[in-house]
Amino acid sequence: MNTKLIAEIALTHLFTKKKQTIIAMLGVTFGISMFIVMISFMTGVNQFMEDMAMDNTPHIHIYNPIQLNGHAIVEPASTETKNWVVLQHQRPKNVLPKIKNGMQVAAEIAAMPGVKGVVPSVTTQVFFNNGPVQIPGTISGVDVRKQDELYLTSGKMEEGNWDDLLKGTDVIVMGHGLAVKASVKVGDRISLTTPQGANHLVKVVGIFSYGISMLDDSKSYASLATVQKLVARDPSYVTDLNVKMNVMDEAAAFKTTLRKVYPNLYMEDWQEANASLLAGESIRNIMTFVISFTLLIVAGFGIYNIMNMNIISKMKDIAILKATGFESPQIVSVFLLESLIIGILGAGLGLLIGFGISYLLSITPFPAGQFVRINTFPVNFLVKHYLMGVSFGFVTTLIAGYMPALKAAKIDPVKIIRG
């Protein structure tokens, strides 16, 4: 077909109606740029929330939960006599939340393929005594070096050094919120009470902040030996194993294989631990897409309208073209090409503007205060989103332009020319 001729007619139309062309283009530009900004920002927020949660969440958490036995031991004994055994308020056995051979298991798992590392830890509830007030919190004894290596804890320190945990016993680092509540500063000593009822005096050598108040208000860290001493257990006593994978998404699959090797251990992967966060994330993603699609559809209707008007104002021209021998597919091509040029230029401009706004947003200071560890708005810059934007824009203009173009091709020249 006469591509050059069709392009010439389409371009002439676009250039003689510059205002109309630009307005139609801006419709697409607006739709695409808002799409880019929305999706970059929303995924940025999701990413940030996930990172924040994942900073401290092991990919697989292995521990001994408090378990009820389910049925009483007297039950099987009483089946012969057919007596009823009614047992109410069953109590759990006094079992230590200890992982058997914890250190050994940690070493074994750490050697498995795909595992980045394992941090064995002892976690216990404690009360921090601030005068007559007891502040509830937890203390985790961890392998100091490994914890830092896998969870970059030293990067979260507000004051003091993470490595100071290695310098001596009875030293802890505590969360920012907890430190405020306990009114301690780095270098202060604080007394704490363990669940067993023992009182200990420990020295605060650092204050950390994850930006998650739930953690910062209750958590503290110490070396493994310090906490083992606090709860009066031997050096093999480990309550939790925090496994970190090389690839986060392999955690669930790895957990299944791990279960076969250690059938007696209770395991939880990060997806289970963060189910509510992930649900929130998928809802935000759906919302982002719904809003973005709406914007694009609105832009599409804009193009449809303008192309329709364009065609109505060009009825005579179309009739002439047909009378002088232009066939329907060529008429369709002319008007479709006009829509596509509008769409492509509009989408291109939209990407630039979208990128610009996203960039400005990403350097805008975000006054989140102490609670969230962030200085500017979280924004993602992913090529994927830009490609999506262009293809959506392209497809919408194609559809929005095709219908009026078909209408143009159906015009009966006789009716127009005879008036």
Partner 1 sequence: MESILQAKAIVKSFPENPDLQILKGVSFTVEQGEFLSIVGKSGCGKSTLLYILSTMDTDYKGDMYMMGQHLNGWSQNQLAKFRNEHLGFVFQFHYLLPEFSALKNVMLPALKLNKYSSSEVKERAMAKLELVGMQDYADKLSSKLSGGQQQRVAIARALINDPAIIMCDEPTGNLDKNNSMNVFEIFKKLCSDNRQTIITVTHDPDFAAKSDRIIEMSDGLIIKQ
In angstroms, give the least distance from the CB of 342 to partner 1: 17
DSSP string covering 139-172, please? EEEE-HHHHHHHH-GGGGEEEE-GGGGGSSSSEE
Q: Check: CB of residue 225 under 8 Å from CB of residue 139.
A: no
Rounded to 10 degrees, the C-alpha dihedral 258/270/213/96 comes to -30
Q: Can you tell me which of 317, 340, 355, 407 binds partner 1, judged by CB under 8 A?
A: 317
Q: Exactly one of 96, 316, 356, 376 binds partner 1 (CB under 8 A); which one?
A: 316
Place of tokens 């509510």: 276
Which range in 8-16, 142-150, 241-249, 291-299 contacts partner 1 by CB under 8 A? 8-16
Is residue 327 close enough to count as binding partner 1 by CB under 8 A?
yes
**Pairing of the two strands 266-269 and 199-208:** unpaired
Q: What is the DSSP string of 355-388?
A: HHHHHHHHTSB---TTTS--SB------HHHHHH
Closer residue to partner 1 (CB): 18 or 89: 18
Amino acid identity for residue 96 in this structure? L
Question: Closest distance between partner 1 and the C-beta of residue 17, in Å?
Answer: 8
Cβ proximity of 42 and 284 under 8 Å: yes
Q: How far is the CB of 319 from partner 1 (least distance, A)?
A: 8
Q: Does 18 bind partner 1 (CB under 8 A)?
A: no
Applying CB under 8 A, among 326, 377, 386, 392 the residue interacting with partner 1 is 326
Q: How far apart are CA 390 and CA 379, in angstroms?
A: 19
Interacting span for partner 1 (CB under 8 A) from 1-9, 68-76, 289-297, 364-372: 1-9
> Maximum distance among all alpha carbons in the chain?
107
Cβ 343 to partner 1, closest distance in Å? 21
Residue 237 contacts partner 1 per CB under 8 A: no
Among 325, 365, 367, 369, binds partner 1 (CB under 8 A): 325
Residue span binding partner 1 (CB under 8 A) among the ranges 35-43, 298-306, 340-348, 411-419: 411-419
Contact residues: partner 1, CB under 8 A: 2, 5, 9, 12-13, 16, 316-317, 319-330, 413-414, 417-419
